[in-house]
């Protein structure tokens, strides 16, 4: 088994020798699935003993005797040994691969004067789309998935009864198309082990799954925006999940997790073994969930992130001290509800409240929520963190609300889904209402903001291999202040082997409209980027100008 697993592990990096420069899967929106570890596929029978062991002993027995009390008159040979049947069958392993990728061509079209003659005549420019739009950054509230960028992941699995191991490689830049980005490939990216058992308590048959390693547990995923209202955890840690079925229709589960996010710095000039300086933040989460058949599901969620590691601070000052870092925290309380029924369709709603204190001190790892990579990311996106604690400490409160409704004409009519022609409707949105907790020394002009984005799409599949989709998106960076908004109308032609199978190649055109505050490399009134990193990517002669209004896109994606 180890030799086979070694072969799989060696194959993964070979596939990523050219690094690729993140998920409930929907065939129209295929996406990666690296969340909660799955239960074992072969639960123990009612008579099997409960065990968390990842290996099972093999029991053999010799013959009762090597010679008879009454030896044969015709031979002096001893009776041959007979092996008794093994008490447990020898463990067998199944190996496999699963993965996902998307590979887009994104072309931003605009008429602009050349950067060396800004007063000259405008001419057609065709640019790399994310450089000229405001909605391509995954870690920004502006993100719509219309301009999602490169992503690929591959998982190798080794599975047996009551145990599954997964190792994954991930990356976000296809270097074969041009220059290399050494930071874009995570090799390895994740590695975790799940040990699973079943037992009986009266008439109940609970399941316990214990997981450990490096992976991204996630809760409250908003599929249309590829973000989380409750959390995704970028961590190394443990997770214990207890699931209790009450008959065939109802089940309850409790998930507990504890982990660490690792932040720090890397200095290539130091000796190889000592090039990384690592600081830890600590993560704890609980999730309680109830399910009724496939019709109804409700989950209650809580998490906390904090630190007790001085190394998390690469430098200190009077207002960025370890004492202040010890007081830093992120606390989330939230819920999600899923309902599905004939005729009615599918509804998902998820509210949450996130409280952040001294978000600047918790680094760039740990809890990811509503497009914020970490508490520091939330502080920059929603809590006016400027880098100066005298103006803002990245503290405050967020109220979040995500929703998604989906239905098909076949479901409304009571027909079987998957038949053609098919019509599918989706309506969706995300609200983030933030209140700043500013120090008395602050000179910032705002005390909070309310951000809201929503949209709807309609897809028609006349044949299983073809679909036509229209979509509308509206994003308000602050609904109470004019100019901080943009919208897009999108048309898409998709080609499938079968629209239910999870792969497609599509041609897409998006037409944007922008408020006067939505510009390239746009800044908040406190002089920080409205879209993280846009001051770097979009800085230069076109900073402050209108983003591209026309974006053409061809994308291939598959989940397998």
Query: Per residue in 471-493, pLDDT tens?
Result: 999 999 999 999 999 999 999 99
Q: Which H, E and C letters describe 467-492, residue by residue?
A: EEEEEEEEEECCCCCCCCEEEEEEEE
> Of 194, 196, 217, nearest to 206 (Cα)?
196
CB-based contact 102:557 (threshold 8 Å): yes
Give per-residue burial for 486-514: e unless 16+ CB within 10 Å, then b: bbbebebebebeebeebbbebebebebeb
Distance CA 261, CA 280 (A): 6
pLDDT (0 to 100) of residue 317: 63
pLDDT (0 to 100) of residue 149: 94
Handedness of CA 343, 502, 42, 156 (dihedral sign): negative
> How would you classify residue 53: left for phi > 0, otherwise alpha for psi between -120 and 50, otherwise beta?
beta
The most confident of the ranges 5-9, 254-258, 274-278, 414-418 is 254-258
Place of tokens 């846009």: 534
pLDDT (0 to 100) of residue 514: 98
Does the pLDDT of residue 71 top 60, yes or no?
no
Structure confidence by residue, pLDDT tens digits, 522-547: 999 999 999 999 999 999 999 999 99
Q: Quick one: pLDDT band at residue 262, thresholds 50, 70, 90?
A: confident
Does the pLDDT of residue 395 top 70, yes or no?
yes
**H or E stretch including 434?**
strand 422-436
pLDDT (0 to 100) of residue 380: 94
Distance CA 309, CA 55 (A): 37
Report how many helices (DSSP H) and strands (DSSP E) the chain contains, helices first: 5, 21
> Of 207, 133, 178, 156, nearest to 18 (Cα)?
178
Across the range 257-279, mean pLDDT stands at 83
Structure confidence by residue, pLDDT tens digits, 59-70: 333 333 333 333
- Biggest CA pair distance of the chain: 117
Instruction: Work out the angle at residue 217's Cα, subtended by the Cα atoms of residues 211 and 219, and round it to the nearest 5 degrees.
Output: 130
Across the range 23-42, mean pLDDT stands at 40
Does the pLDDT of residue 385 top 60, yes or no?
yes
Structure confidence by residue, pLDDT tens digits, 325-367: 889 999 999 999 999 999 999 999 999 999 999 998 888 889 9
CB-based contact 164:194 (threshold 8 Å): yes
Beta strands in 80-150 (DSSP E): 94-112, 123-128
Distance CA 529, CA 521 (A): 7
Distance CA 552, CA 126 (A): 10
pLDDT (0 to 100) of residue 323: 81
**Token digits of residue 477:** 């960076």
Does the pLDDT of residue 31 top 60, yes or no?
no
pLDDT (0 to 100) of residue 220: 98
Distance CA 399, CA 404 (A): 17
**Token digits of residue 452:** 């809201």
> Of 365, 327, 355, nearest to 237 (Cα)?
365
Across the range 248-264, mean pLDDT stands at 93
Does the pLDDT of residue 12 top 70, yes or no?
no
Give per-residue burial for 456-480: e unless 16+ CB within 10 Å, then b: bbebebeebeebebebebbbbbbee
pLDDT (0 to 100) of residue 184: 84
**H or E stretch including 459?**
strand 448-463
Q: Where are the domains of the chain?
A: 2-46+92-410+432-448+513-559
pLDDT (0 to 100) of residue 84: 54
**Token digits of residue 474:** 């509206």
| Of residues 42 and 170, more confidently modeled | 170
Across the range 426-435, mean pLDDT stands at 98
Is 10 buried (19+), middle (13-18) or exposed (0-12) by CB count in 10 A? exposed
Peptide bond into 493 cis (omega under 30): no
> Of 412, 438, 273, nearest to 346 (Cα)?
412
Strand partners, 331: 304, 355
CA distances from 379 to 360, 394, 413 (A): 7, 4, 47
Does the pLDDT of residue 277 top 90, yes or no?
no
Does the pLDDT of residue 445 top 80, yes or no?
yes
Secondary structure class of 109 (helix, strand, coil): strand
pLDDT (0 to 100) of residue 86: 54
> Of 282, 294, 440, 443, nearest to 366 (Cα)?
282
Q: Quick one: pLDDT band at residue 39, thresholds 50, 70, 90?
A: very low
- Percent of residues, the chain, with pLDDT higher than 70: 83
Structure confidence by residue, pLDDT tens digits, 181-192: 888 887 789 999
Q: Quick one: pLDDT band at residue 122, thresholds 50, 70, 90?
A: very high
Distance CA 385, CA 376 (A): 8
> Of 299, 287, 369, nearest to 330 (Cα)?
369
Structure confidence by residue, pLDDT tens digits, 152-165: 999 999 999 999 99
Secondary structure class of 402 (helix, strand, coil): strand
CA distances from 212 to 29, 37, 47 (A): 29, 10, 27
pLDDT mean across residues, the chain: 85
Across the range 34-45, mean pLDDT stands at 39
> Of 329, 323, 349, nearest to 337 (Cα)?
349
pLDDT (0 to 100) of residue 318: 59
> Of 368, 389, 387, nearest to 377 (Cα)?
368
């Amino acid at each position: 088994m180890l030799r086979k697993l070694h072969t799989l592990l060696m194959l993964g990096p070979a596939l990523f020798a050219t690094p690729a420069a993140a998920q409930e899967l929907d065939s129209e929106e295929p996406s990666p699935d690296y969340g909660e570890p799955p239960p074992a596929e072969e639960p123990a029978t009612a008579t099997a003993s409960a065990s968390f062991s990842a290996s099972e002993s093999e029991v053999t027995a010799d013959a009762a005797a090597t010679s008879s009390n009454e030896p044969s008159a015709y031979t002096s040979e001893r009776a041959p040994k007979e092996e008794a049947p093994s008490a447990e069958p020898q463990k067998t392993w199944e190996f496999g691969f699963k993965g996902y990728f998307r590979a887009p061509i994104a072309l931003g079209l605009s008429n602009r004067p050349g950067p060396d003659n800004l007063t000259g005549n405008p001419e057609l420019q065709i640019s790399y789309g994310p450089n000229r739009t405001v909605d391509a950054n995954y870690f920004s509230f502006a993100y719509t998935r219309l301009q999602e960028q490169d992503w690929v992941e591959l998982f190798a699995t080794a599975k047996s009864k009551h145990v599954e191991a997964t190792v994954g490689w991930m990356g976000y830049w296809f270097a074969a198309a041009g220059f290399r980005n050494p930071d874009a490939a995570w090799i390895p990216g994740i590695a975790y082990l799940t040990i699973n058992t079943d037992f009986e308590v009266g008439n109940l048959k609970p399941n316990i799954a214990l997981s450990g390693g490096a992976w991204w547990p996630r809760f409250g995923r908003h599929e249309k925006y590829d973000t989380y209202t409750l959390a995704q955890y970028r961590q190394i840690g443990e997770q214990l999940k207890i699931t209790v079925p009450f008959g065939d229709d109802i089940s309850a589960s409790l998930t507990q997790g504890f982990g660490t996010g690792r932040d720090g710095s890397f200095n290539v000039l130091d000796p190889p073994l000592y090039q990384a300086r690592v600081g830890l933040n600590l993560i704890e989460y609980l999730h309680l969930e109830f399910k009724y058949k496939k019709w109804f599901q409700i989950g209650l969620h809580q998490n906390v992130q904090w630190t007790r590691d001085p190394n998390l601070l690469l430098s200190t000052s009077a207002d960025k001290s370890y004492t202040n870092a010890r007081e830093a925290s992120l606390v989330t309380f939230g819920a999600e509800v899923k309902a599905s029924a004939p005729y009615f369709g599918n509804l998902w709603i998820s509210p949450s409240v996130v409280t952040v204190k001294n978000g600047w001190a918790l680094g760039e790892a740990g809890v990811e929520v509503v497009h914020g990579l970490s508490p520091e990311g939330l502080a920059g996106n929603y809590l006016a963190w400027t880098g100066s604690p005298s103006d803002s400490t990245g503290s405050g409160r967020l109220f979040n609300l995500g929703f998604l409704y989906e239905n098909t004409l076949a479901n409304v009519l009571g027909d079987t889904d998957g038949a053609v022609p098919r019509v599918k409707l989706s309506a969706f949105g995300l609200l983030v209402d933030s209140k700043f907790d500013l120090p008395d020394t602050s000179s910032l002009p705002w005390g909070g903001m309310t951000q809201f984005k929503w949209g709807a799409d309609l897809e028609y599949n006349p044949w299983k291999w073809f679909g036509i989709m229209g979509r509308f998106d509206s994003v308000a960076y602050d609904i109470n202040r004019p100019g901080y908004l943009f919208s897009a109308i999108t048309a898409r032609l998709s080609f499938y082997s079968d629209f239910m199978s999870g792969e497609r190649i599509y041609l897409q055109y998006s037409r944007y409209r922008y408020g006067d505050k939505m510009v390239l490399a746009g800044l908040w009134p406190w002089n920080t980027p409205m879209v993280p990193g846009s001051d770097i990517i979009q800085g230069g002669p076109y900073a402050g100008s209108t983003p591209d209004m026309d974006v053409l896109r061809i994308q291939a994606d598959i989940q397998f």
